Amino acid sequence: MNNEMKRSTVYFKPEIHKALRLKAASTNRSISDLVNEAMQQALREDLEDLAAFEERIAEPTISYEALLKNLKDHDKI
């Protein structure tokens, strides 16, 4: 194990753990590699979401009720 890595205990539901073990075995990778990859992907998606929010911060907001009224007024619903 790379000495730059940090150790952590993670508890999985049994069916998730079984799926991870099977995937790790079938791909010749460790569960740690799979979890690290999944977390990196999730964090990348978070960064993309935050960037999208930042780009749209100046856009006007509309309430749900106003949206429904607008859709109804334009025969969309």
Q: For residue 3, what pLDDT is reported?
A: 73
Which residues of the chain, if any, have pLDDT below 50?
none
Asked if the structure places residue 40 within a domain, the reply is: yes
Asked if the structure places residue 15 within a domain, the reply is: no
pLDDT in tens, 41-59: 999 999 999 999 999 999 9
Asked if the structure places residue 9 within a domain, the reply is: no
Q: For residue 2, what pLDDT is reported?
A: 61
Question: What distance in Å separates the CA atoms of residue 65 and residue 5, rounded to the nearest whole number?
Answer: 49
Q: For residue 1, what pLDDT is reported?
A: 55
The residue segments making up the domain with residue 40 are: 32-77
Question: What distance in Å separates the CA atoms of residue 26 and residue 40, rounded to the nearest whole number?
Answer: 21
Give CA separation, 46 vs 6, 29, 40, in Å: 22, 25, 10
Question: What distance in Å separates the CA atoms of residue 23 and residue 16, rounded to the nearest whole number?
Answer: 10
**Domains contained in the chain, number:** 1
Q: For residue 23, what pLDDT is reported?
A: 98
